[in-house]
Structure 1
């Protein structure tokens, strides 16, 4: 990790006292480690395995099958779901672990810091799961390639990892790790991005955030295809975002959350005039976006606050769904007065999304989220690339084996090339095909530079242990 001292892993876990073991009792909870894949010879070794994982509070061991299930439970006092002589399991509950496992040098401790140089610091957020990590490796390689271009404004890269322990990419990708609110997301949870905003807010207060004047927030499934123009480095108070048509500027649920907060805190923000303004969220999200680092320091804590406020009540959480993190970012930017200039492709200077977009325009990022399928005029499938099935699918053991993607077909005006039914009209133009080809070329070039085992590990087994 950059910018401070880190123990490089979990803090010492709680001790396992045989007197605390509960025989003939079973507990439920969110699975941290699947017991069918985690056999232990005794209850003690099962407990010790739980103690090594910050998010684990409950261990359940079967003396017959040797299965050791490790589970998370956020309740103050978990209770067994079954007890008695007929229950084979031996279980235990460990105390919740609190406090940070990592510490970094805070920016506020730097006396009279000089203004940061005018440059761009790429910031990528991740929960560190194996699916996001193969994408991260590729993204970082494309960053390195284009940051090396003459005159590039890209001068720094940090992966912000919201996870309770280090992972297999700590020594390959510049990383700062921050403890998540949802410890269970180290393995699986239904909304891991809920921890993103707090991690970004914490990072923005470290000395690592002082390296450049501007921050470029990206996702793991983006790739750089060129270095951005210096024109995206906007003055304080202005930012560049990417237009998402599914964000509604007057969303009523987010309006209620926003107004409730502003009634309580507008004076603290110096925004007493907010009531006279029309409520209009920018149609964007946190990524991709480029903003002044000082503006990020104002936006990020409030972004985290709005994320928390969209989790409850239940009707707000359900209404906003997976977009609540994006809406929270937009509301935070509106609240502190950071104007986001947004535009769709091809007018945006940020990103294009093959094959939805016809051309790259002025963009320097490509987003491979659409999973293009190419068919001939007889509807025979010729080619496909979908990140969700790459490397065997989303739930493979990390680190993934990376492989190059076959080249898409060459342009042939007589072939009647077309896309899958999702796209209407289905016709695949020559320019769309060339945009797909650019994406695949950059992707494959990055794959070709990456070893099977991430940097810093001697064996695949060592890397797999860190990925677990």
Structure 2
């Protein structure tokens, strides 16, 4: 007897002996059930035993498959019998695992048949009928062997015609490929409906581009009050889940039947229902749980294993943080092994998700009922429920920084790194010249603008100097809405322009009141208040006026504009300063020499007045020339340089994120650390040299709103950007009766 057949015989004999022992154990359970149970309670026990026998039969078939690889028809028959046994188990309470194994056996059996044939094929033909209303050249969604896919109907075909699609067999794909199924959790509302359609479009686009894509399936997990279908159920593969009862009706009952006033609780509740009714299209062993405001920039690689899921690290989910650690320790044995993850996005082995979900759901309810946890964890409580549940079960994640990115106009605006998913949870807000702002921008792309209506089909492009994230998100929105044939015509009244003024001027904290450079050049007062430098208002400093109608104050950012006749002397003009809802709008009138001002607000018959003046030089600046004389290093020729014309009055700027930094005329420089001097570089048009706090720097500007600096002494590098601070939340010095206001008036009078 040859060596290999002998070894195969030994392995089969050993496997048979082991499985025989397990059969004996299960049979004993059946005998025990018959002896101890009767009536209605006996049938479920026997079905459970039957399911275990079926799973054992299937496991036996898969275990000896490698040994019987050359068994031909006999092996195929074994697999078919195992699959039949699994169909018995799939309908029982213990049949959830059986259903997944049944699908795996079906795939294994098909693969074995293919490998047993004399000439393995690398392609597969699928036949479909053209649906009603569709003609050649148009795309349709069909169900393929691994889930839904989009195909193009051949030219010349009409409704009812049969057409063939040839698929490349997975055998031609790179080794190590691990297909996964995307599960998109969604709620039944218009807001998430349009997000879902955009997300699904870009999923299909990536899937079509790569025949060997690991993203092989897609299911929308839709939560609705009645668990019923919606208008998109035929457009996108959908599993329906019934939502928890809204409100806090179960708060004190201990029953997990309401959402506790926290609708996110429906996520683990829906996943629980999903696992109990896995769709027939789900043949993958892994799933990626996603949200409606996720967009695929590129296909995420499946880095998960059967024992380690993949997650994205959230900065606010740090269990080791001093303010969180004591509370996390109350619920987890060791906060050091609680990963900084939430339940989306995650890539996870399906059996592991099934193991984790009951604990995730139960713990989320326990945290919500705990007063301290509810207060501290807040809107991310259910995320803590997930990651603490994972740690309790000994599950650690592969934490992947590039899994996704969450840009805003203030961070990650350049899509730094190599992100795979764009999570557009934060709005993108810019001025029309590309400065990032806090609040609603003149150019604004925020999903919350479209709570009740679809976004318009064509969104205006972001300003040139806005970050790459803004251009990317706008393009992805526009591409999807243009490609989706029934995108509504009745959309929101604004796209990316016009939102700043929706709620009136008080909603705007940065609107450029000086609409044009020409307006600035024609106003003597405008040029004077910018050129003078730092001002003091109600005893607080610095107050800095910048071109384009921006103002920096100790309380926050605002806007300013010229009122009056801009073609007369400065004392015939006045300035209006808007400091948002918290600090109101002020009317500033200046002295003839533009060194003091009076600020007034309120009704004409009952005004409130405060005073302002030019700020005194910093104590360390006594050696600097008095304003507005030229600083050392500044020459007359510098007035006409391109960099000087660009920088003077622009801003506000920040050095290493510290503001304000202002480039004033005649080479004067205002910094948070004291005044300094600056002058254009003689040879490089986009470079300046500056000196402050006794240190010289060479500063290089890009074409937008950023710069890099090198310190002359040691080569130390720094960076800077234009930065508009948030609007004021309070300004007690400007309120009636403020002692600071009285002191300021006394200083002005002196």
Q: Same fold (TM over 0.5)?
A: yes
Aligned to 2:407: 353
Give the conservation status (yes or no) of the 8 Å contact 1:163–1:183: no
**Residues 173 and 183 (structure 1), Cα distance of their counterparts in 2 relative to 1, 3 Å cut:** farther
Alignment of 1:409 onto 2:409:
no
Q: Gaps spanning 5+ residues in structure 2: where?
A: 1-92, 108-145, 147-177, 249-258, 491-750
Give the conservation status (yes or no) of the 8 Å contact 1:288–1:351: no
Shift of 1:107: 3.2
Mapped to 1, the partners of 2:310 and 2:101 lie a distance apart of: 29
**Residues 444 and 294 (structure 1), Cα distance of their counterparts in 2 relative to 1, 3 Å cut:** same
Map 1:136-147 onto structure 2 (within 5 A): 136-147=196-207
Superposition misfits of 4+ residues, deviation over 4 angstroms: 376-382
Mapped to 2, the partners of 1:373 and 1:112 lie a distance apart of: 50
Aligned to 1:149: 209
Aligned to 1:445: 479
Corresponding residue to 1:389 among 449, 453, 456: 449
Aligned to 1:466: none
Give the conservation status (yes or no) of the 8 Å contact 1:372–1:384: yes
Mapped to 1, the partners of 2:365 and 2:427 lie a distance apart of: 32
Shift of 1:387: 0.8
Map 1:32-111 onto structure 2 (within 5 A): 107-108=96-97, 110=99
Mapped to 2, the partners of 1:441 and 1:377 lie a distance apart of: 19
Give the conservation status (yes or no) of the 8 Å contact 1:237–1:337: no
Aligned to 2:388: 331
Q: Gaps spanning 5+ residues in structure 1: where?
A: 1-103, 260-276, 411-416, 418-427, 461-468
Alignment of 1:224 onto 2:296:
yes
Give the conservation status (yes or no) of the 8 Å contact 2:319–2:335: no
Shift of 1:158: 0.9
* RMSD between aligned residues: 3.2
Aligned length: 303
Aligned to 2:287: 215
Map 1:37-436 onto structure 2 (within 5 A): 107-108=96-97, 110=99, 112-113=101-102, 114=104, 118-150=178-210, 151-165=212-226, 166-183=229-246, 190-208=261-279, 210-229=282-301, 232-250=302-320, 251=324, 252-258=326-332, 279-344=336-401, 348-355=402-409, 356-357=411-412, 358-375=414-431, 383-390=443-450, 394=451, 396=452, 400=454, 402-410=456-464, 417=465, 433-436=467-470
- Say which structure is richer in strand: 2
**Residues 163 and 241 (structure 1), Cα distance of their counterparts in 2 relative to 1, 3 Å cut:** same
Give the conservation status (yes or no) of the 8 Å contact 1:253–1:320: no
Mapped to 1, the partners of 2:353 and 2:271 lie a distance apart of: 9
| Cα offsets for 1:187-245 (capped at 9, x unmatched) | x994211111021122123333842121111111111122223xx33211112211111
Mapped to 2, the partners of 1:184 and 1:438 lie a distance apart of: 38
- SS across alignment from 1:218: strand
Mapped to 2, the partners of 1:132 and 1:105 lie a distance apart of: 35
Higher RCO (CA < 8 A, seq sep 6+): 1
Shift of 1:168: 2.5
Give the conservation status (yes or no) of the 8 Å contact 1:299–1:333: yes
Mapped to 1, the partners of 2:101 and 2:442 lie a distance apart of: 60
Mapped to 2, the partners of 1:437 and 1:403 lie a distance apart of: 15
Larger Rg: 2
TM-score normalised by length of structure 1: 0.58
TM-score normalised by length of structure 2: 0.37
- SS across alignment from 1:110: helix
